[in-house]
């Protein structure tokens, strides 16, 4: 649930903005198909980008990472 005045990160927004070649392959697959699952497995287990790159992309795009206190 987004904070008032903010938007949530959309799934694979980073991948699409980075023009990830694996994301391009995934976009060409029918969701739920064997090909989609095979390409998705690459994303899940062998992403070509690092969390460092992702984190800095979030900062550059103005995203805030927040969590509730406690």
Residue 70: its pLDDT value, please? 82
Give the tens place of pLDDT for each residue, 22-59: 999 999 999 999 999 999 999 999 999 999 999 999 99
Give the tens place of pLDDT for each residue, 10-23: 999 999 999 999 99
Residue 66: its pLDDT value, please? 84
CA distance 15 to 22: 9
Residue 53: its pLDDT value, please? 97
On whether the CB atoms of residues 5 and 15 are closer than 8 A, the answer is no
Residue 50: its pLDDT value, please? 95
Reading the block at residue 55, the tokens are 């984190």
């Amino acid at each position: 649930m987004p904070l008032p005045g903010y938007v949530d990160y959309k799934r694979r927004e980073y991948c699409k903005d980075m023009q990830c070649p694996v994301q391009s392959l995934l976009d060409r697959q029918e969701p739920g198909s064997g090909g989609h699952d095979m390409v998705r497995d690459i994303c899940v287990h062998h992403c070509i980008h690092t969390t460092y790159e992702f984190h800095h992309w979030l900062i550059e795009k103005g995203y805030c990472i927040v969590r509730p206190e406690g």
